[in-house]
């Protein structure tokens, strides 16, 4: 992958009622050259809209990929990868860092009625999750808007060491810093 290729990594830091989302533009050579922030409701249904709004505000046509930390930030505020990829007109790749049997049983324990049905419908519509070896680590990848192999190559290219792609590592740190500042 060419050294100037950029990805926007989006990660969160949450507290009781809201989640701070940070977006970091990072080149594959690890140079950071942009930030954007947003908030979504913990346990809500606005994470997808928040991510799309962040991408629009950032207004960076030079970003080639969207890397999202997980599929359900802010306590099951499930992301719709197809809606994000379509709105951004570029691939959306969700990366999670732990093996699991999926979210359906946890969703059923935490929600009921329309709140449960919306989450199940959105979650079931997401691309299948695949384990990907990155160095000595394993991450779990879902991709919308690009073939699976391109998503795997992208995740590996943006992960210079450890198991967390650099745009997501920096975005998580930025989200934590902003959330801590907001609590003052």
All residue ranges of the chain with pLDDT < 70 are: 184
HSE value, Cβ hemisphere, 13 Å, CA-based, for 166: 18
pLDDT at 184 (0 to 100): 60
pLDDT at 86 (0 to 100): 98
pLDDT at 78 (0 to 100): 98
pLDDT at 182 (0 to 100): 76
CB contact at 8 A, 171 and 20? no
pLDDT digits (tens, 9 = 90+) for 101-151: 999 999 999 999 999 999 999 999 999 999 999 989 999 999 999 999 999
pLDDT at 156 (0 to 100): 97
CATH number for the domain whose boundaries are 6-174: 3.30.2170.10
Annotated domain spans of the chain: 6-174
């Amino acid at each position: 992958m060419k050294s100037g290729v950029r990805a926007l990594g989006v990660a969160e830091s949450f507290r009781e009622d809201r989640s701070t989302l940070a977006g970091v533009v990072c080149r594959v050579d690890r140079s950071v050259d942009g930030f954007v922030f947003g908030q979504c409701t913990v346990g809500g249904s606005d994470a997808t809209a928040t991510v799309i709004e962040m991408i629009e505000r950032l207004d960076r046509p030079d970003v080639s990929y969207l890397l999202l930390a997980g599929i359900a930030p802010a306590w099951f505020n499930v992301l719709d990868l197809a809606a994000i990829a379509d709105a951004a007109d570029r691939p959306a790749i969700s990366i999670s860092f732990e093996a699991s049997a999926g979210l359906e049983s946890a969703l059923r324990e935490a929600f009921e009625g329309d709140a449960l049905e919306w989450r199940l419908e959105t979650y079931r519509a997401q691309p299948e999750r695949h384990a990907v070896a990155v160095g000595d680590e394993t991450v779990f990848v879902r991709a919308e808007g690009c073939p699976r192999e391109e998503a795997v190559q992208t995740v590996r290219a943006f992960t210079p060491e450890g198991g967390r792609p650099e745009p997501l590592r920096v975005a998580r740190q930025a989200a934590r810093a902003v959330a801590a500042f907001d609590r003052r």
